[in-house]
Amino acid sequence: MIALIQRVSRAHVEVNGETIATVGRGLLALIGVEAGDSAATATRLLERVLAYRVFPDAEGRMNLDLRQIGGGLLLVPQFTLAADTSKGNRPGFSTTAAPAVAESLFRLMVEQARALHPGVQAGAFGADMQVSLVNDGPATFNLRVPPIS
């Protein structure tokens, strides 16, 4: 399972011209689900996202995590993150999880995140979303947890 996290000043998601999710200072996490991922994989990835230290401390060093700054978390399903891009000029999607599995794991991650951290928002699985953000830094990191049984 993959999370492309971006430290943001603000971010929001629109579907059909309507804002469905918005956060201020915090993280935007694009979530890709790979074939073989499980609930354990989703839980471990969420733990990493919440604990990843990408916010500056008093000395300006990246030593604080999302919970320590009380930031927002915007989770957005992004199946293309799990695409096979190893050859050719077009992505392959044989490495992605089946849509029903991916949706279930994304929803689980959102539920767990909301239970662990206030201010969690989410994009809409399978929707044509417009995601807007102000990347703070910019600071963008790729987190991946291999499938866990």
As annotated, the active-site residues are: 78-80
Contacts 24+ apart (CB under 8 A), 14-17: 14/129, 14/130, 14/132, 15/123, 15/124, 15/127, 15/128, 15/129, 15/130, 16/128
The rounded distance, in Å, linking the Cα atoms of 92 and 118 is 36
The SS3 call for residue 137 is strand
- CA-based Rg of the chain, rounded to a whole angstrom? 15
